[in-house]
Amino acid sequence: MRPLWLYDHPRRGIRAWGDMVAKFITFEGGEGVGKSTQIRLLAERLRGSGIEVVTTREPGGSPGAEQIRKLLVEGEPGRWTPLSEALLLFAARADHLARTINPARARGAWVISDRFADSTWAYQSGAQGVALDSVKVLRKMVVGADEPDLTLILDMPVEDGLARAMERGGLENRYERMGLPFHARLRQAFLDIAKAEPERCVVIDARGSTDAVAARIYTVVDERLMR
């Protein structure tokens, strides 16, 4: 393995390991596709290569954003209008970027987030009907140049994902308890995002063993970010 060292990189004040800028990777997908497990496995493998990795999540990932998370994931499915949800999510995302993601990257750490702005596109626009132009305006305001370097969209049939969610302890949050038509729209929205932004997004088949999915993910990370 080649030696690693830190140096200042001109992009947004972000530092780099060797000739690799500190990367920002996001995992996306519907309910029950296995994002949390795969994030843990990828982080462990990258750390084994000498890279500092910060794992985080949305909604949440910073103290203020975690408070907003409770408002979003708890309660009845119809607690918020889709537009209200989108506004709350971008408020949480602004705090997440300012207090967790950007400080980590500024010191040279790679960041892996369980969901980011594509989830707002998919959940609130694609699946719930908020105008996509409105979501794009909010995204530009809040995210700006801080877009992920790579987005991995874990995909499987809706019924399989919801069955997995049940196996891990029931349909616990209000998104999981929305009906099958909602989840079908959600899956299609993520596939549409991948089609619209192939330079950033890669769809990963999330079916099969945990190790098989992890191998698919690492192959993409290696090819896209490490070579």
In a domain, 52, yes or no: yes
In a domain, 180, yes or no: yes
pLDDT computed for residue 111 by the predictor: 98
pLDDT computed for residue 76 by the predictor: 79
Torsion of CA 37, 40, 128, 91, to 10 degrees: 150
In a domain, 27, yes or no: yes
- Confirm if 58 and 146 have CB atoms less than 8 A apart: no
User: Residue 73 above 70 pLDDT?
Assistant: yes
In a domain, 146, yes or no: yes
Once rounded to an integer, what is the mean pLDDT over residues 70-80? 83
Tens digits of per-residue pLDDT, 129-156?
999 999 999 999 999 999 999 999 999 9
Domain with 154 in it: 6-226
Tens digits of per-residue pLDDT, 78-126?
789 999 999 999 999 999 999 999 999 999 999 999 999 999 999 999 9
Structural Rg of the chain based on CA atoms: 17
What average pLDDT does the chain have?
89
pLDDT computed for residue 28 by the predictor: 98
CATH of the domain at 207: 3.40.50.300
In a domain, 177, yes or no: yes
Cβ within 8 Å of residue 139, ≥6 positions away: 90, 117, 120, 121
Distance CA 211, CA 53 (A): 20
Once rounded to an integer, what is the mean pLDDT over residues 173-178? 67
Distance CA 167, CA 119 (A): 23
In a domain, 150, yes or no: yes
User: Residue 27 above 60 pLDDT?
Assistant: yes
Distance CA 16, CA 171 (A): 40
In a domain, 1, yes or no: no
In a domain, 96, yes or no: yes
| pLDDT band for position 178 (cuts 50, 70, 90) | confident
* Overall domain count for the chain: 1
pLDDT computed for residue 26 by the predictor: 98
Distance CA 141, CA 89 (A): 13
pLDDT computed for residue 227 by the predictor: 79
User: Residue 2 above 80 pLDDT?
Assistant: no
Q: Provide the token pair at 132.
A: 């996509």
Cβ within 8 Å of residue 73, ≥6 positions away: 59, 173, 174, 175
Q: Provide the token pair at 218.
A: 């690492």
pLDDT computed for residue 6 by the predictor: 41
